[in-house]
Amino acid sequence: MIAIGGYYGYSFYTFAKDIQQPNIVKDPDSGKKPNKEQIPLWGGKERVNILMMGVDARDRNEVPRSDSMLLVSIDPVGKTYDIFSILRDTYVDIPGYGESRINAALGHGGPSLAMETVSQFTGIPVNYYVITDFEGFKSLIDAVGGVDIDVEKNMYYRDPGDKGKYDINLKKGLQHLDGDKALQYARFRHDATSDYTRTERQRKLLTALADQLQSGMSVIQLPNILEKVSPYVQTNLTSMDMIKLAGLCLTLHKAEAEGYQLPQPNAFQEVNRGGSVLLPSIPDVQAFVREKLQHQSADPS
């Protein structure tokens, strides 16, 4: 029993230590002590807001922009979570850099600036971040055994880079997707609605992954999962935060997950700023976020 406990403890400790390193994106503020007013400690009852960013880190000589941004808000009292997809062409003020697409914040100032920008956009504090790249996403899906997804239509795209490694070729219908196919599903945006439906698919895939983790993950699988994904994941979550959140996530109500797009329909204008961008109504966006979170935060007791 001691040997088994030590094995799992060491596996988790190594994983937690590895993914707290800036192995994907350098953070200028990584050496600073956290400001307790900006990064509130999770006491067990208030919401935990985590910014999840997917990056295309194929070119290691360039600082990547966040190809996808999802804000996950967990209510530990109501045992629910909400997912807000942020359209990457949303045109906002990036503190210290002026107005630009919101996905540029990561490249300008690392994860800290990305969290600050998203917090300013949504009006809620962003406590933590998690970054992964293509290979990390694929490894996570494979490590949990894949996910079941109803692919809405045939999807095909020829990626000009990497000799076809990231081409997209999916057939319509319910199917079990491995890591490679799941990444294709999450990345596809080459249709009339582009990033709008892509963010819907990403929320759908994230919910399916959460369901798979809740129903299929066992203690025996944990070290293997951690070992496979740690080279491709970066976060500011501490080891204790991860332990508490992992336990919390296993208790969340699957059927009550909600997903939304930001900026929501009718809360932005398409304008030209050296290219087509989405100019949001910040008050409308923040009111929408507050409304959705308040609606989900009723204490069942």
DSSP symbols for 4-72: HHHHHHHHHHHHHHHHTS-SSS--TTTTSPPPTTTS----SSS-EEEEEEEE--S-TTSPPPEEEEEEE
DSSP label of 166: T
At residue 175, the pLDDT reads 93
Band the pLDDT of 61: cuts 50, 70, 90.
Answer: low
Dihedral over alpha carbons 239, 229, 143, 257 (to 10 degrees): 60
Per-residue pLDDT, averaged over 16-36, amounts to 61
At residue 38, the pLDDT reads 39
At residue 7, the pLDDT reads 45
At residue 254, the pLDDT reads 62
Phi, psi of 237 (to 5 degrees): -65, 135
| Least confident range of 90-104, 213-227, 237-251, 266-280 | 213-227
Segment 152-189, tens digit of pLDDT: 999 998 877 767 788 999 999 999 999 999 999 988 88
Mean pLDDT (the chain, rounded): 80
At residue 30, the pLDDT reads 60
User: Which of 67, 91, 74 lies closest to 257, judged by CA?
Assistant: 74
| Least confident range of 37-41, 47-51, 90-94, 132-136 | 37-41
pTM for the full model?
Answer: 0.77
The most confident of the ranges 38-47, 215-224, 281-290 is 281-290
CB atoms within 10 A of CB 38: 13
Band the pLDDT of 3: cuts 50, 70, 90.
Answer: very low
The dihedral through the CA atoms of 27, 30, 36, 41 has a sign that is positive
At residue 6, the pLDDT reads 43
